[in-house]
Amino acid sequence: MGITRHRNHFYFVMRVPRRFAHVDPRAQVRRALFTDSERAARAKEPAIRAEFLVYWEALAAGENDDAAAAFDAIKKLAAARGFRYRPAADLAANASLDDILTRLEALVRPDGSLAPLTEGMALLGGVELPSADGKS
């Protein structure tokens, strides 16, 4: 896996590690690198690999029963997808329609399937802020 070329464009391709198969059912992930330069593609590879690993770690941590850890994981997951975590009430009251639609569109994979529930919770504010004692 790694960098592949298809029709003069480069892509990053990586198998989903076994330890994350329970949170991401895809066999592999693929991301367009938007370049026709192999040098530019290879330069982007480490950052994209790290981004996927952070994404999977956050998905896995989101299954944790510890409210503070789960909230932190959800914030990291939202950040890995390019969004700032905002509680659902804040999104409903203050977000623009474009922001909400962008978040919803980000939950649809290129093949038409939907992202895991944990990712939906991260982008749409589905986790409550933990209380001061670390419990919801």
pTM of the model: 0.56
Phi/psi zone of residue 66: left (φ > 0), alpha (ψ -120 to 50 degrees), beta? beta
Do residues 108 and 115 touch, judged by C-beta distance below 8 A?
yes
71 found inside a domain: yes
How many domains is the chain built from?
A: 1
131 found inside a domain: no
31 found inside a domain: yes
Q: Minimum mean pLDDT among 54-58, 62-66, 104-108, 110-114: which range?
A: 62-66
Q: With cut-offs at 50, 70 and 90, classify the pLDDT of residue 130.
A: low
Average pLDDT on 67-80 reads 80
Residue that wins the pLDDT comparison between 55 and 97: 97
133 found inside a domain: no
Residue that wins the pLDDT comparison between 99 and 63: 99
Residue that wins the pLDDT comparison between 14 and 60: 14
99 found inside a domain: yes
136 found inside a domain: no
Distances, alpha carbon 94 to alpha carbons 50, 85, 86, 91, 97, in Å: 32, 13, 10, 5, 9
Check residue 127 and give its pLDDT: 78
